[in-house]
Structure 1
Amino acid sequence: MIKKILAIFLIVIGTSGFTHAQNLDARIDSILTNLFKDKDEPGGVFMVAKHGKPIYCKAFGKANLELDVNMKTDNIFQLGSMTKQFTAIAILQLAEKNMVNLNAPIYKYIPDYPSGDKITIHHLLTHTSGIKDFTKMKSLQQISQQNLSPKQMIDFFKNEPVDFPPGDKFEYNNSGYVILGHIIELVSGKTYEEYINQNIFEKAGMKDSHYASDVTLVKNRAYGYQKKMEKYVNKTSISFSIPFSSGSLMSTADNMLKWQNALNKNLIVGSKTLKKAFTKYKLNNDEVFNYGYGWHIKEINGTPVRAHGGSIFGFKTMGVYIPDEDIYVIGLTNCDCNSPTQITMDIAALTLEVSGKKSISLIKPI
C-alpha cells in the first residue's frame, strides 16, 4: 500500500513538473512569436537555463535574408557591450596574479595618459572615470572604417576634456573599457584577442566564440541587419578595432551559458576575486551605484540580479542572471531594430514565477 501511494505521489510530482515546463514553454513562445511575427525577417535566439542546463532554447526568423537561411540555435551573434564582462574578468584574472592593481592609477600602465594619476583601474571598470565616451564624439565617423591599434584608438579620445572628476558620477563609458583592453595587452604581452581566447574561451569550453571579424569565415554566423525606411538593409560596416575590448566579441547562446557556468564553478577566477565583479560600489560622496565590474547589479524585491545588454550595428543582445535561483536568460538578435532587453527580463520573471517565486517585473531596461 505504501509503495502504491509513493508511486502515485511520484507520478503526480513528475506530471506537475512536466506541466510547469509546458506552461513556461508556451508562455515564452507567446512572447517571442509576438516579437518575431514574420518568419521571413531577421530574428534571434533565446535560451533559458536553470542550474546550468537549458530548459528552453529556440530560434526565430532568418539568419541570412539574402540566402533565405533560417535561424538556428547555434548561430553566432556579435555581442556588443556584453564584451565588457569578458574584459572585466580578464582584468580580475591579472589582478589575481598580481599583474594588475585595481586601485592603481592608469599612468602606471599608460604613462602619457592625461590625468592618468587621478584615474584608476577601478574607475575604468565601474564607468566612473569621467573620460569622454568616444561613441559620443562627432568625429567618430571619420575613423570608423580604419583599422587602428589600441594605442591609436586611445589617442583618438584621450585629449578630450573629461566630463567630471574621477569617482564623482556613474556614467556608462566605452572608452574606459578600450583602455582596459590595452592594459590587458601591455601587461600580458598578448593581443586582447589572444588573451581572451587562451584564458577565457578555452577554459570555459567556448569553442564557438571569437573576436569579431567581417573578413574571417565564421561558421554559423548570423548576419546583421538594420531597418531603414521600413526596409531591411545589411548592417553598417565598421572596423572592430574601434569598439575593441568594449564591444567586439561574438558568441552563441550555448557558449554564453558555458561562460555563466564557468564563472559559477570558479573556472576563470576564484570566488573571492569574482565577488568584486558583483559588488556595488560608492561614488566620492558615498552614494552607492548599481554597477560592479562589467555587470549592472540590481536588487528586485530582495532578489539579486546581474544583467547586461549589448548593441552594435546589426545586433542587440541581453543577458540576465538570477544567482539565488541559478537562472540564466540570454537573448540574441540579428537586427538592431529588435531589442531583446525587456523581453529577456520578462522571460526571467516568468521563469521565476513558474519556479514558484512571486511574479515580478524584473528590472527596468538597461
Structure 2
Amino acid sequence: MTKTILTTALVLTLGQIGIAQTGFDKTKLDNYFNALEQNNKFMGSVAVSKNGEIIYSKTVGLADVENNTKATENSKYRIGSISKSFTAVLVLKAVEEKKVCLNQTIDKWFPTIINADEITVKHLLGHRSGIHNFTNDKDYLTWNTQPKTEKEMVEIISKGGSDFKPDSKAAYSNSNFVLLSYILEATFAKSYADLLQEYIVKPINLTNTYVFGKINPNNNECKSYSFAGTWKVENETDYTIPLGAGAIISTPSDLTKFADALFGGRLLKSESLEIMKTIKDGYGIGLFPIPFYESIGFGHTGGIDGFSSVYSHFTDDKISYALTSNGTNFNNNDISIAVLSAVYDKPYEIPVFATYNLTPEELDGYLGVYASKQIALKITITKDGNTLIAQATGQSAFPLEATEKDKFKFDRAGVVLEFSPADNTMILKQGGGQFTFTRE
C-alpha cells in the first residue's frame, strides 16, 4: 500500500546453492538484531519455521514509543499487501466451491468500471485488469485515514479509469484486490473479516490474525513509526479502504503457519495452489517469486503507513520465513538476507553504524532544489532540526543520515547522496546507478 521512494530494491539474492539446516548460530543472529535496535534502525519481529516448527524468532523495539512499551513475540503488526495472499486463497476457495469462476467478467458486480465486460476475476488476481491503482493518486494520503463505504470506494476506483487494455500486460494495483474483497462479500453474503476467520484463521488455528480496526495498544497492537532523528508516529489508514488489499494484522509466527499450511496443501487443492504459483509478467496469484541463492520461494511483501513486512516459503527445504515491522530506518531486504543466510549457513555481517554529527547551521549548506539532466526527477533538500530531509518529485519525504562530511545515506532504500556545496552539485547513488544533480 505504500509508495515507492526513488527506486525499490529487489528481494533477496541469487547465487550458489545453499543447504538449509537448523543448527545455525542463533547468538550471532540475535546480535545482528541487537545492533539494529541499539542504533534505531529497526523495530519489529521475525520468525522462521522448518518442517512446521518455529526454529528462530526475535522481536526488537517498541510497540508503543510514546508509552515506552516493548514489543513481544505476541505483538501484532499490520501486514499491508501480504493480505493479498489471504484474499487470493479466499477467492480460490470460492472457485473450488463453484461460487465464482475465474474467467467470469466483473460487469455483474461493477458496471461502472471501465472495461468491466472484458476484465475477469483472474485478471484482478494477477494484476492484469488495467484498473488504475488508487493509492498512486496524489490526493490519496489526504483521505486514507477516513472510513469509506463500498459505494464510495467503487466510485473512486471507477473515476481512476484504465491504464491499459485488460490482459495486455501486468501492473500492480491495489484497486484489484479491493474489488475482489467486495466480490467475496457479495458471493458469500458475509463480511471479508468473517470470511477470513471462517476459511483461513480457524481451520489452521492462527491466534493473532484478523482484519484490523483502530490500533489498540491494550490488545498488543503496535503503532507504526517513521524515523527522522527520533521515532515519529504515523497516521492510521482506515481498514475500510484497503480491505483485502491490505487490512490484515498478524505476527511472524502466524504468517509462517499460514505459509506452511498454504504450501502444505491444507488450505487449497493442489490445482488451486498451482494457479497461485503460476508466474506471468512477474506476478502470480497473490504471490511473487522470492529467490534466495538457488532456492526459489513464494510469498509477498507488504507496507502500510509505517508498517512493512514480507513472508516467503521455500518448499524444497520446508522453510517459511516472515518479517513484520512497525518502524524501519534500514533496508528490510538486507535483514531478510541476513536471517536466511543464518538459516542456510551463508555468510553475513553484523552491521556497524558510524555516526557523524552536524549542526543545523552546517546543514544549511545543503538545502535547495536539485535537478538532473540524466533523469526526470527533482529532489528537494530541507531540514528538520539536526536531520536533513530529502523528497523526490511526487514521492514521500525521507530522512538522511550523515556518515561523513558531505555524505548522507538512507538505508531503507539503499540511497547515498554526496554533496559538493561549493559546486552546487549532488550525486545520487542507488542500485548501482549514479546520477548528478545541480542545485537550481
The TM-score with structure 1 as length reference comes to 0.83
Secondary structure in structure 2 of the residue aligned to 1:129: coil
CA displacement at 1:180 relative to structure 2: 0.6
1:88 correspondence with 2:88: yes
Q: 1:293 to 1:130 in 2, by over 3 A?
A: same
Q: Which residue is equivalent to 2:37?
A: 36
Q: Which residue is equivalent to 1:254?
A: 253
CA displacement at 1:251 relative to structure 2: 0.6
Q: Are 2:48 and 2:256, in contact at CA under 8 Å, matched by a contact in 1?
A: no
1:107 correspondence with 2:99: no
Q: 1:185 to 1:339 in 2, by over 3 A?
A: farther
In 2: Cα distance, 1:344 partner to 1:265 partner: 22
In 2: Cα distance, 1:304 partner to 1:291 partner: 14
In 2: Cα distance, 1:93 partner to 1:332 partner: 26
1:1-366 alignment to 2 at 5 Å? 21=22, 23-38=24-39, 43-214=43-214, 219-228=219-228, 230-281=229-280, 289-298=281-290, 302-353=294-345
In 1: Cα distance, 2:291 partner to 2:214 partner: 38
- % identical equivalent positions: 25
Q: Are 1:332 and 1:340, in contact at CA under 8 Å, matched by a contact in 2?
A: no
Q: 1:197 to 1:21 in 2, by over 3 A?
A: closer
Q: Which residue is equivalent to 1:11?
A: none
Q: 1:313 to 1:336 in 2, by over 3 A?
A: farther
CA displacement at 1:261 relative to structure 2: 2.4
Task: Identify, as 1 or 2, the structure richer in helix.
Answer: 1
In 1: Cα distance, 2:133 partner to 2:38 partner: 36
In 1: Cα distance, 2:327 partner to 2:57 partner: 19
Q: Are 2:22 and 2:343, in contact at CA under 8 Å, matched by a contact in 1?
A: no
Secondary structure in structure 1 of the residue aligned to 2:38: coil
Query: What is the total number of aligned residue pairs between the two structures?
Result: 330
Q: Are 1:63 and 1:70, in contact at CA under 8 Å, matched by a contact in 2?
A: yes
Q: Are 1:77 and 1:221, in contact at CA under 8 Å, matched by a contact in 2?
A: yes
Q: 1:302 to 1:339 in 2, by over 3 A?
A: closer
Amino acid at match of 2:278: T
CA displacement at 1:21 relative to structure 2: 5.0
Amino acid at match of 1:341: N
Task: Identify, as 1 or 2, the structure richer in strand.
Answer: 2
In 1: Cα distance, 2:237 partner to 2:161 partner: 25
In 1: Cα distance, 2:293 partner to 2:232 partner: 42
Amino acid at match of 1:37: Q
CA displacement at 1:314 relative to structure 2: 2.2
Q: Which residue is equivalent to 2:429?
A: none
The TM-score with structure 2 as length reference comes to 0.70
Q: Which residue is equivalent to 1:4?
A: none
| Cα offsets for 1:49-84 (capped at 9, x unmatched) | 111111111111222212222221111110011110
| Cα offsets for 1:94-119 (capped at 9, x unmatched) | 00011111111111333333210111
Q: Are 2:24 and 2:345, in contact at CA under 8 Å, matched by a contact in 1?
A: no
| Cα offsets for 1:281-322 (capped at 9, x unmatched) | 3xxxxxxx2221111025566532113111111211111211
In 2: Cα distance, 1:231 partner to 1:222 partner: 17
CA displacement at 1:160 relative to structure 2: 2.3
Residue ranges of structure 1 left out of the alignment (5+ in a row): 1-19, 282-288
Q: Are 1:317 and 1:341, in contact at CA under 8 Å, matched by a contact in 2?
A: no
| Cα offsets for 1:244-280 (capped at 9, x unmatched) | 2111100112211221222134332212212211112
In 1: Cα distance, 2:61 partner to 2:308 partner: 15
